[in-house]
Structure 1
Amino acid sequence: MNRTSTTDEPAAPAGGPAPRRPGPSAPAAFSYTPADEEKRRGVRRMKATATGLLLLVALIYVLATWARNSGITGWPGYVAAAAEAGMVGALADWFAVTALFRRPLGLPIPHTAIIPTKKDQLGASLGDFVGENFLSTGVVRTRLGALAVGRRVGAWLAEPAHADRVTAELSTALRGALTVLRDRDVQAVVGEAVTRRAEAAEIAPGLGKTLQKVVSDGAHHRAVDLVCARAHDWLETHSGFVMDAVQGGAPGWTPRFVDKKVGERVYKELLRFVTEMRDMPGHPARGALDRFLSDFAADLQGDTDTRARVERLKSELVARPEVQDIIASAWSSVRAMILSAAEDERSELRRRARASLIRLGTRLATDARLQAKADGWLEDAAAYVVSTYRTEITSLITDTVAGWDADQTSRKIEAHIGRDLQFIRINGTVVGALAGLLIYTLSHALGGA
């Protein structure tokens, strides 16, 4: 009755269809391993023991019945009654145990071969049981609340060694993520995001407020001083260039000496103007520049035409290939900087991450309010997962069981629990014999009374 083949699939009966094999997308079936076959040999040994005990009580019943029929009175009746009840108990338990895995004696008795024929229903019932008793919102919240996850995680994370470990793992994960990412794709995303952001945000009012603040604080004076000083130095170094430029622009009919005199005069006046502007903080030209910058700052904030011109200039500037190349190359620089910091255990990034983890762990371990918040977030997240995806989680059980081959499932389950089930047969034999002996004894005692 019991097959001992160790092949992964049962052989097809003669003339019958081939055994069902799961398709490529079906859940993986049970694989019958050598370890399962070893357990199955233990099951066969226990079956032999239980069957031997049945044969023994049958032999005892035959001998006791023969002795009673031979005229021996007294003990043969008691022994025969005990043996008879023992056989009944053994046969009943053999039927019950066998009916779990196959049809006893191959007879089509209803409600037998339960595991092969009811496999899918058992899988569905198991999925429902898990869903109702393990994946319910109340159970998950109660269990997580009893664990005090926030306090435990905080105490663990507050240890410097543990913070070092988490920091190292985070650094490894960060390096792995940056390695997997394609630079071209990230550069395209960064470029598009920066460009879209630049085009969407109007910069003129912000520039106007900034310029107004700079002018009111006099922060631009140093820049003006630098420009005047550089202009003065340039004029002194390139005096001939200035005078040649003036002479080159003079009419052709003027005498050369006149052009030279005009050029020298223009150069001297220009040099004097720049020198005075450099040396005199209250120079009228500086005041005019301040008024111009103030007016321009106001126009940037309130003049529609000025703001529109600034936005057009911004769009043209952002659209230039040189600017796009700078935006795209920013990712390469940032990536290299992050990788270098993640690999260096003494980098500022690693040290700050470690310190932040220790502070977070210390707060979690000591701050009851933060613990309650963390536990609440975890409970809400777990409750959302089990309430939203409970069907998908339990379907993993039902679909997996449905994909198992019925015969393979029965054989594997029998290999794992069959040895214990054979003890039921042995116990049934012993208990049946004792019950039969008790009943026979009570019957005679009451009949004699």
Structure 2
Amino acid sequence: MERMNRTTTDEKGPEGPPPPGARAAAGGIVAFADTPLDEERRRGVRRMKAIATGMLLAVALVYALAKWAQNSGAGGWAGYVAAAAEAGMVGALADWFAVTALFRRPMGLPIPHTAIIPTKKDQLGATLGDFVGENFLSGDVVRMRLRAVGIGSRLGTWLAEPAHADRVTDELATALRGALTVLRDSDVQAVVGEAITRRADAQEIAPGLGKLLERIVADGGHRRAVDLVCVRAHDWLVEHNESVMDAVTGGAPGWTPRFVDRRVGERVYRELLRFVREMRDMPDHPARGAVDRFLSDFAGDLQSDSDTRNRVERLKGEVLGRGEVQDLIASAWASVRAMIVAAAEDERSELRLRARAAILSLGTRMVTDARMRGKIDGWLEDAAVYVVTTYRNEITSLITETVAGWDAEHTSRKIEAHIGRDLQFIRINGTVVGALAGLVIYTVSRGLGGG
């Protein structure tokens, strides 16, 4: 048994032959490099093997002494001890066979279904690849793990640090300068001209604008704009009440008394302020409904009313046909690029200061704003799920092909060094459990009169 457990890589001198894995590496087989930690693990495995084997020899000695005592008429206790020791030997031998069969053929005999790791290495690699693909590279698992990590919160905490915001700003400035340097003015002008003028002139924009507006109204996206207008109108009325009343009284007839004009102005102001306040605070205010109907009707007119569509097309043609628009496209790019490059190079430029402030603000919002953090986490989860589901086969084939390229014998020794110590506890437990089982069976048999 000790001969079978020896490793072929122990104590190789500089002049000695290379390990078997190194010889096979020329044929495409990869051998592992032994480390001091591997040697320490192997010593631990050998110690546990010695303990497990010692227990087997101990129960064998107990069995022999118990049988001798039983034959010598020592009494009934000898039978109990012999039965326990006999079952302990059986358990120890069975578990020794099971553990040994994982890594090599027990006693060198060609017993079927032994030396499982060396002979089934490629199959185990394929199974491992399938296991990883099904249990680690599934969309639900990836999404759950990313959600548990909380990338949005961690990224926000990282970006909220001024030093990190400076670093991101520097990298963005470098990338921006590089991108603007390689772009030629003529290319940019041609692209802009094609995108803005030619395509816009060749395609009617009114139906598209109508569909977009219709979708915005259907989703309620315009309500934030209405909310903002109402809030700003209310605040303006509160701050400029005198201006409103002066405007009302200034338009009154000259023959009306001034105190009447003042009362009328105050009444108009109060009603106007009440109307705006109600519209601001009541989502179902009739005026809001009127705005919704107006926008819906306008969206429909943009798509189906020929008069409205023709007016939009005429307006578009007038804007695009003006020479100032073409001259602006042709002349503005060089100035814009020079301005952007200069701002990107200047650490104190408004562009970089605003970019840095935006990054810090983004980081702070990602930490404090759960809604934004949820959106970012959702985007990252969707991206990761797309990658793992799209390239799952490529990832798992990497595992399968890597395992297939390992040297079988060296792989077996490597795995045994990592888990062999724990496996020896199976032999120890088998000895103890077998002895207890044998003692129980023998006791029950004696109690039932079986012997």
TM-score by length of 1: 0.60
Tell me which residue corresponds to 1:55.
Answer: 57
Gaps in structure 2 of 5+ consecutive residues: 199-317
Partner residue of 2:163 out of 162, 165, 171: 165
Cα 1:54–1:148 change in 2 (3 A) is closer
* Deviation readout 1:130-167 (Å, 9 max, x if unpaired): 2111211122233444555445544x2574xx1x1322
d(CA) in 2 for partners of 1:144 and 1:396?
A: 23
Tell me which residue corresponds to 2:128.
Answer: 126
Tell me which residue corresponds to 1:434.
Answer: 436
1:135 partner SS: coil
CA contact under 8 A between 1:86 and 1:436: conserved in structure 2? yes
d(CA) in 2 for partners of 1:146 and 1:20?
A: 44
CA contact under 8 A between 2:165 and 2:360: conserved in structure 1? no
d(CA) in 2 for partners of 1:363 and 1:177?
A: 25
Which letter does structure 2 place at the counterpart of 1:62?
Answer: A
Which letter does structure 1 place at the counterpart of 2:125?
Answer: G
Tell me which residue corresponds to 2:251.
Answer: none
Cα 1:172–1:90 change in 2 (3 A) is farther
CA contact under 8 A between 1:9 and 1:408: conserved in structure 2? no
1:172 Cα deviation (Å)? 5.0
d(CA) in 2 for partners of 1:36 and 1:429?
A: 28
Cα 1:173–1:399 change in 2 (3 A) is farther
CA contact under 8 A between 2:95 and 2:426: conserved in structure 1? yes
1:392 Cα deviation (Å)? 1.5
d(CA) in 2 for partners of 1:23 and 1:169?
A: 47
d(CA) in 2 for partners of 1:158 and 1:55?
A: 65
Worse-matched range after superposition: 347-356 or 128-137:
347-356
Partner residue of 1:376 out of 375, 378, 397: 378
d(CA) in 2 for partners of 1:132 and 1:203?
A: 51
d(CA) in 2 for partners of 1:330 and 1:50?
A: 80
* Deviation readout 1:252-308 (Å, 9 max, x if unpaired): xxxxxxxxxxxxxxxxxxxxxxxxxxxxxxxxxxxxxxxxxxxxxx9x959xxxx9x
Give yes or no for the alignment of 1:190 onto 2:184.
yes
1:122 Cα deviation (Å)? 1.4
d(CA) in 2 for partners of 1:353 and 1:123?
A: 49
Tell me which residue corresponds to 2:410.
Answer: 408
1:195 Cα deviation (Å)? 6.4
2:448 partner SS: helix
1:190 Cα deviation (Å)? 2.6
Q: Larger Cα Rg: Structure 1 or Structure 2? A: 1
CA contact under 8 A between 2:155 and 2:363: conserved in structure 1? yes
Partner residue of 1:422 out of 421, 424, 431: 424
d(CA) in 1 for partners of 2:143 and 2:165?
A: 30
TM-score by length of 2: 0.60
CA contact under 8 A between 1:123 and 1:397: conserved in structure 2? yes
Cα 1:130–1:351 change in 2 (3 A) is same
Cα 1:388–1:64 change in 2 (3 A) is same
d(CA) in 2 for partners of 1:435 and 1:370?
A: 62
Give yes or no for the alignment of 1:363 onto 2:365.
yes
1:110 partner SS: coil
1:45 Cα deviation (Å)? 1.1
* Deviation readout 1:205-242 (Å, 9 max, x if unpaired): xxxxxxxxxxxxxxxxxxxxxxxxxxxxxxxxxxxxxx
* Deviation readout 1:20-43 (Å, 9 max, x if unpaired): 32667x7x5432212101110111
Gaps in structure 1 of 5+ consecutive residues: 13-17, 205-297
Tell me which residue corresponds to 2:24.
Answer: 20
d(CA) in 2 for partners of 1:202 and 1:72?
A: 109
Identity %: 62
Which letter does structure 1 place at the counterpart of 2:41?
Answer: K
Cα 1:61–1:369 change in 2 (3 A) is closer
1:176 Cα deviation (Å)? 6.8
Give yes or no for the alignment of 1:105 onto 2:107.
yes
Cα 1:64–1:384 change in 2 (3 A) is same
CA contact under 8 A between 1:167 and 1:350: conserved in structure 2? no
1:199 Cα deviation (Å)? 8.1
Cα 1:367–1:61 change in 2 (3 A) is closer
Which letter does structure 2 place at the counterpart of 1:78?
Answer: Y
d(CA) in 1 for partners of 2:431 and 2:122?
A: 33
1:109 partner SS: coil
d(CA) in 2 for partners of 1:399 and 1:416?
A: 22
Which letter does structure 2 place at the counterpart of 1:190?
Answer: R
Cα 1:165–1:128 change in 2 (3 A) is farther
Tell me which residue corresponds to 1:136.
Answer: 138
CA contact under 8 A between 1:86 and 1:430: conserved in structure 2? yes
Cα 1:67–1:431 change in 2 (3 A) is same
Which letter does structure 2 place at the counterpart of 1:112?
Answer: T
2:449 partner SS: helix
Worse-matched range after superposition: 70-79 or 118-127:
70-79
Cα 1:167–1:365 change in 2 (3 A) is closer
Cα 1:151–1:56 change in 2 (3 A) is closer
d(CA) in 1 for partners of 2:356 and 2:26?
A: 50
Tell me which residue corresponds to 1:86.
Answer: 88
Which letter does structure 1 place at the counterpart of 2:78?
Answer: P
Cα 1:47–1:136 change in 2 (3 A) is same
Which letter does structure 2 place at the counterpart of 1:401?
Answer: V
Tell me the number of residue pairs that the alignment of Structure 1 and Structure 2 aligns.
318
d(CA) in 1 for partners of 2:38 and 2:106?
A: 23
1:197 Cα deviation (Å)? 4.0
RMSD: 3.9
